Chain A
Amino acid sequence: MSEPLRIQPNLEFVQELQAIGGQDLKKCYQCATCSVVCPLSPMDRSFPRKEMVWAQWGLKDRLVNDIDMWLCHKCGQCSEQCPRGAKPGELMSALRNMAYRNLMGPKFIGEWMSSIKHLPKLIAIPAIIYLLVWFVTGSLQGTPFPLEHGKIEFGLIFPGDYTIDPVFVLVFFFAVYTFIRGIGKLYQGFDTQPKTFVLGYHPPENIWVSLYQVLKEEVVTHKKWKDCGEEEPEDTKFKGHLVLFYSFIALAVVTGIVAFTHWGGKVLPFLHMPYPMALWNPVKILANIGAIGLFVGLIYLTKRRVAPSEKDESSYYDWYLIVLIWVVAVTGMLSQIFRIAEVAGLAYSVYYLHLVSVFMLIAYTPWSKLGHLVYRIAALTYARRHGRLSTEIETDKNKVYVI
């Protein structure tokens, strides 16, 4: 028989979880309805029942290293069916929120990202940087809203090569570096938890194959999420997320092409592309499709978040991300419109806001809800590799035995 698990009830941790979205977790009386109705929960050590009791006891070690929080897509069926109103789905998202906050340092960012009261500080960082830039370039140009040949040229105030690209590349790599360390820490945590031995399941031979399968079978299709619920609100959420997801990819591709041609053009002149791009340029078209997709996805998701829901409550993390993307999209679109319309004052101001919001989106990603893009994929990859199977995974079911 195995050694008894040493447990340490942790009142502070319970209270922390309650504060971050799991207010009702203490109501759970362990009937396991949640695990039964969950369409994704594995057969063995199913979630979210066990997370509920761990949370009630404040078993921090178990919870922060729990891989299952990433297997949950929060369809909310558990919360809806819960006879005590304990809202297990909210706990699962609270756990994820806690991961965004605590998994990686610097600690202050995690803390600032967790509450609206710290928001001004987060805004202030890029706002001050670009205000300074604006002040300097504006002084050099003699006006805060300069024109070149009668046209608005954002580069006059915010020269890309000196003030945008270096800063954004820096914060981008800062985010990437943080994510890589984050994944390492995540995996270390998973390693400490008991494993499932599954007979009749052949795991991918290495982690990269596993990642490939995750991307192909789950991420690209959003298949798991689709399984999660087919009722109206979930469907809206699913569609919204899918559109938003592909829009992001489109815009990432555009950004990549632009950066590549720009900086590549400095070395190999034939790569150079003229700016601003013409509206018929395929890259420009992709960019605009991406932007429209962004709006469509945002509208879907916002509509659902605004509607009161028992199944899925919205936390600060949810609103932070959605509002930020709105700001990025709206300011991006408006700065283009004002530029074409030649309203200099507005165009520069909105473009400034656009830079601030994009900075926030990139730099704070590992501590925001957007972090799930990396952490969830990493966790799913790990899960697939170690046979932590949700009931829906394609296997020869007759031969699967869980030990």
Chain B
Amino acid sequence: MAEKIGVYFDTQKIGPLLDCEPLAEKVRNKWAKACPVVKIEDNLSGEAGRQLIQADIDSGDIDSVCICGSSPRADWDIFDFGSHVLVERVNLREQCIWPFRNPDGSLPQKAEEADKLLAENALDCINMSISKLQKTNLPQPEDLEIVKRILVLGGGWTGCNAALSLARAGYEVLLVEKEQELGGYAGKLYKTFPKKSPFLRAEDAGIADLLEMIGKQDSITVYTATSLVELAGQPGQYTATLKNGSGQQEIQVGSMVLATGWEPLDTKYLEPLGYGKSKNVITSMQLEEMAKNGEIRCPESGKPPKNVAFILGFSELLDGIAREEEEARQRAEEEKAAAQQEQSDEEPSIEEPFEKTESYRHMYFTNELTCLNTLKQANYIREFLPESVAVILYEHMTATGIQELYYKEAQNDPGIMLSKGEVTAVETAPGGKLVVKAKDTLLGSDISLETDLVVVPTGLVPTTALDPVIQLAYRQGPAFPDLALFDGFADSNYICFPYETRRTGIYAAGSVRQPMSLAKSAADAQGAALKAIQCLESADRGVAVHPRSGDLSYPLFNFVRCTQCKRCTEECPFGALDDDEKGTPKPNTARCRRCGTCMGACPERVIAFDNYSVGQIGSMITQIKVPDDMAAEGPRILILACENDAYPALDMAAQRGWKWSPYVRIIPVRCLGSVNTIWIADAMGKGNDGCLLLGCKYGDDYQCHFIKGSELCDRRMKNIGETLDRLGVELERVRQEEVAIDDYDKIPGIIDGFVDEIMKLGPNPFKGF
């Protein structure tokens, strides 16, 4: 806890509109005991400034630092005085001075004009920061015993690549494959589309070489015909229960790369494409098998086909089944919403039942792979049967990036005929032949084409859409939550952060995450392997992983006051909390991402971090000086800004010269999920006229760094709305807005629009009590 705070003013950062001397005087008067050192310096951002502060620390005059100057996002490396010294930055420049404008919208011409309002704003900010420091403790990392062994689940192309990367990085690897042999679907390929320059020819998948390299690595232990039965514990300390035949064994692992890949989509989705009508309608997997066995023949006659049609333009045919499934999905969603409404007051259901998410959509998700695969297989036809013709009817020929070369090469083959087209029917004809009809073709009219063999695509369904796969012994259930959002792919909306899942310590790679080629899968495997290592090492040092990488703090529970309401257990986006029979939460620090959602959820406020707590923010709110007369001195509005996107966006808006109302006071929060409703009640009780919450986008295409935070906040604000209503405070005084990091140009509009509305509403009825 900060007891002796040094307050430093950087005149270069906060001049010329703001006079530091009177501010310093007010700080000396108000915080005489807490702040033994109050200094005004010309420029702190440099070695000289740093040494000046360091000298005060070394002499024992102060134990923590409060710097009044620029945003904490600037010069953070300069003001690092080691882990034992708390540093608080008062963001006067970006969030107080630069955006300052007069209440009527005009800009101050002289310093004196700005003086009063600006000084009040600055003083509030300084007071809030000092008060915050007083309520902050130095975080102590949790000391965990960890196992530096990494489990790779799935021994296909991706899994083998991940295992190899991990072994080469010096980690012990457990490679678990459910089939008898390693290799997965890559092992069943005759060839794969080009992986190297000049990208014109299909090539050997290279699985044999990969397996040979795996065999040479002593640190890789391979378990074939083995499946994962349970994964219990937390990163660094997992216990994996493996089942091989009738035997089971438990092995300690630290983290996991999930590379379980895909399964072929149920053939019922291929029936509208003619599959099952004739033996001569085959899937691309069947064709691959034929090629692997060295002979392409019509299954019905056993003769080589003269003419093979590949169907990629299947939307029209799939329309019926697609419509059915979409309607069913809508109905299910409505039912679920209705059920939720009924249930909202009852005890929360923590464990979501697993639902399969296989659907017609997987046909489309696989499109890029299907296209490339079709080009490759058309080349098989030309390779095995040089006199035969391969016809490709496509809807969206997707050959991205360098694969465009492969597409061109296929196009140049005189025996590969390509056209855009929607296939309208696949019919049988005498003599085992098939007739493919298509519309919207490039040939200028509807066409019908007689062919010997029709190849329909194989859709990829991620294994996680069919089965929980990771088999977690977590209170929230064995599977990844909310995978329906991604149609079962073990993916997340972590923009720019692939491999992340909502289960810390488990990193997805390859086609279980997205349908992808072997080359992409290999790169993916490396990425996920590095993430798995990073997680292990972070757990070893007791720090958080992405997105609060390196954070030493973690939630502490005051179980004495816990009422076992289970809200924290239910709401944790990462399933970090388990519980006992009574419902008392059992924290797992290494699973925790330190967002504070549990802290925001807790009605009893028993959860706190050393350096972030309900009381800390509460005391900051108390420091906002609210004038009694709103008409004369303006309203006061509290902004709680998510520090991931909204807070930088505020900085960026100010840096770009945007101005906003001088009546707002900004407090950064870790995530809107950590906002406890008591803060709103506190702010209103203290006479603040409004409260604006700035956080990330939520919903299906969420951008929340903690996935559920802003969504949960929105739900809680609806609940607090009822409370406010009972108190006679208008609901409109509390609003949540979605701000992305590049929305800085919208910031002034959002803030000023809200302030205008508050002005219209008039003063908070609680003002002055």
Contacts and interface: CB of A to CB of B under 8 A. Distances in A.
Interface of A: 1-11, 14-15, 18, 26-27, 29-30, 45, 50, 53-54, 56-59, 84
B443 A26 contact: no
Contacts of A26: 411-414
B447 A5 contact: yes
Contacts of A58: 414, 417
Given A9-B391, A11-B415, A45-B444, 11 more contacts: A3-B446, A6-B447, A6-B449, A8-B450, A10-B389, A11-B414, A30-B442, A53-B444, A54-B443, A58-B414, A84-B408
Max chain A C-beta neighbours (<10 A), residue from B412, B413, B442? B442
A5 B413 CA distance: 24
Contacts of B450: 6, 8
Nearest to B448: A4
Max chain B C-beta neighbours (<10 A), residue from A9, A27, A54, A58? A9
Contact of B443 (A1, A7, A15): A7
B541 interface: no
A30 B394 CA distance: 14
Contacts of B439: 4
B192 interface: no
Contacts of A45: 444
B448 A57 contact: no
B309 to A, nearest CB: 10
**Cβ-closest 5 pairs across A and B:** A4-B446, A4-B448, A14-B414, A26-B412, A57-B417
Contacts of A84: 408
B411 A27 contact: yes
A4 B414 contact: no
A1 B446 CA distance: 10
A9 B415 CA distance: 9
B325 interface: no
B426 to A, nearest CB: 13
A15 B448 contact: no
B389 to A, nearest CB: 5
B445 A5 contact: yes
A402 to B, nearest CB: 14
A15 B414 contact: yes
9 contacts: A2-B445, A3-B446, A4-B445, A7-B448, A9-B391, A9-B449, A30-B442, A57-B417, A58-B417
Interface of B: 307, 387-389, 391, 408, 411-415, 417-420, 437-439, 442-450
Contacts of A4: 437-439, 445-448
Max chain A C-beta neighbours (<10 A), residue from B408, B444, B446? B444
B447 A9 contact: no
Max chain B C-beta neighbours (<10 A), residue from A10, A45, A53? A53
B140 to A, nearest CB: 64
B184 to A, nearest CB: 35
A27 B412 contact: yes
Contact of A5 (B389, B412, B448): B448
A27 B443 contact: no
Nearest to B390: A9
A110 B158 CA distance: 59
B443 A5 contact: yes
Contacts of B408: 27, 84
Contacts of B415: 11, 14
Contacts of A11: 387-389, 414-415
B414 A18 contact: yes
B442 A53 contact: yes
Nearest to A28: B411
Contacts of A5: 443, 445-448
A9 B681 CA distance: 75
A6 B412 contact: no
A50 B444 contact: yes
B391 A56 contact: no
A72 B445 CA distance: 23
A246 B420 CA distance: 48
A11 B381 CA distance: 13
Nearest to A27: B412
Nearest to B415: A11
Contacts of B444: 45, 50, 53
Nearest to A84: B408
A137 B445 CA distance: 65
Given A11-B389, A18-B414, A27-B411, A53 B446 contact: no
A18 B391 CA distance: 19
B311 to A, nearest CB: 15
Contacts of B437: 4
B407 to A, nearest CB: 9
B307 to A, nearest CB: 7
Given A9-B389, A11-B389, A27-B412, A56 B417 contact: yes
A18 B498 CA distance: 47
Contacts of B419: 53, 57
B448 A6 contact: yes
A68 to B, nearest CB: 13
A53 B447 contact: no
A53 B387 CA distance: 20
Contact of B449 (A7, A15, A56): A7
A5 B438 CA distance: 10
Contact of B446 (A2, A8, A18, A56): A2
A6 B450 CA distance: 8
A58 B306 CA distance: 15
Contacts of A3: 446
A187 B412 CA distance: 33
Contacts of B389: 9-11
Contacts of A18: 414
Contacts of B411: 26-27, 29
Max chain B C-beta neighbours (<10 A), residue from A2, A6, A57, A59? A57
B394 to A, nearest CB: 12
A26 B444 CA distance: 18
A57 B443 contact: yes
B439 to A, nearest CB: 8
Contacts of A8: 449-450
Contacts of A29: 411
Max chain A C-beta neighbours (<10 A), residue from B414, B448, B449? B414
B417 A9 contact: yes
Contacts of B449: 6-9
B457 to A, nearest CB: 20
Max chain A C-beta neighbours (<10 A), residue from B411, B437, B439, B443? B443
B549 to A, nearest CB: 46
A45 B418 CA distance: 20
Contacts of A14: 414-415
B307 A9 contact: yes
A2 B417 CA distance: 24
Contacts of B414: 11, 14-15, 18, 26, 58
A198 B413 CA distance: 39
A26 B417 CA distance: 9
Contacts of B417: 9, 56-58
B688 to A, nearest CB: 62
A3 B445 CA distance: 9
A7 B447 contact: yes
A10 B413 CA distance: 13
A86 to B, nearest CB: 10
A53 to B, nearest CB: 5
Contacts of A56: 417-418
B421 to A, nearest CB: 11
A280 B141 CA distance: 118
A60 to B, nearest CB: 13
A14 B387 CA distance: 12
A91 B591 CA distance: 66
A56 B408 CA distance: 13
A121 to B, nearest CB: 29
A48 to B, nearest CB: 13
A96 to B, nearest CB: 20
Nearest to A53: B442
A15 B438 CA distance: 25
A84 B411 CA distance: 11
